[in-house]
Amino acid sequence: MKALEIDHLDVDLGGRPVLRDVRLHLDRGELVGLLGPNGAGKTTLLRAVLALVRSRGGRVLVEGRPTRPGRSGIGYVPQRHEFAWDFPISVEGAVMSGRTGRMGVFRRPGVDDWRAVGDALDRVQLAALRRRPVGELSGGQRQRVLVARALALAPSILLLDEPFTGLDMPTQELLGELFTGLAREGRAVLMTTHDLVAAVDSCTRLVLLNRKIVADGRPADLQDARLWTRTFGVSASSPLLKLVRAA
């Protein structure tokens, strides 16, 4: 059974076609990079997996079952601007908020919940800052909070939306090693990113998306420049192709 199955998915937003006939399957143990230009539908695809946007056609299955909002088997790391960093909450409180769907809104956290939060903070190396207000954190620390918030669910599938944007190199390396390790542990990881070099270097598969899937394969199998020019709308002399070849 596939961890994630997306078959013939169509999505419109505001009456405009955003995704067309998207077919994508992920197995446990895969780290898949979802690449494409701005407006290609990458974030919309993640939100469709989470059942946060309505599809026009097709289906999304998570471990063989139709997806639904708040499904606990999926951990989601949104882009940083989507979180209210001025809200008066501590680091561990923000991470605990990721378990609300599993606990219920009115139940107080139990021993298992606090243990899951502690384990998640250890994974992202933020245990020492657990009581610090999130508003006092640096950009890299905030990103690690969002990752820990997703990991606190112990998800089988992890969706990452531009997790490296605006981060310094040490934080990028820390998170990159973490995502690779999570895949090796048997999680299915789907990551959108504009960091093409890191994606080519670390992902087991790359999916090129521009409203529909242009190509899907191992990085070594996607050396045809036409696939990249078709996806990103660049010329054959674009520096983007030089980056891909160098990686």
Does 32 fall in a domain? yes
Distance CA 85, CA 149 (A): 14
Beta-bridge mates of residue 57:
10
Return averaged pLDDT per consecutive 10 residues of the chain, 247 residues in all: 95 95 97 96 96 93 85 85 91 92 67 94 97 95 96 94 92 94 96 89 95 95 90 84 71
Q: Specify whether 63 is located in the same domain as 135.
A: no
Residue 44: per-residue pLDDT: 97
Q: Specify whether 150 is located in the same domain as 98.
A: yes
CATH number for 242: 3.40.50.300
Q: Specify whether 164 is located in the same domain as 233.
A: yes
Does 78 fall in a domain? no
Q: Specify whether 185 is located in the same domain as 65.
A: yes
Does 174 fall in a domain? no
Residues 6+ apart with CB under 8 A from 10: 17, 19, 20, 21, 22, 55, 56, 57, 58
The domain containing residue 104 runs over which residues? 85-154
Q: Specify whether 1 is located in the same domain as 14.
A: yes
Residue 1: per-residue pLDDT: 83
Q: Specify whether 89 is located in the same domain as 11.
A: no
Does 80 fall in a domain? no
For 31, 41, 56, 96, 206, the CA distances from 146, given in Å and listed in that order, are 18, 22, 30, 11, 23
Distance CA 209, CA 48 (A): 15
Q: pTM for this structure?
A: 0.93
Does 147 fall in a domain? yes
Residue 208: per-residue pLDDT: 97
Q: Specify whether 161 is located in the same domain as 233.
A: yes
Q: Specify whether 50 is located in the same domain as 160.
A: yes
Q: Specify whether 199 is located in the same domain as 234.
A: yes
Q: Specify whether 46 is located in the same domain as 101.
A: no
Does 50 fall in a domain? yes
Residue 105: per-residue pLDDT: 57
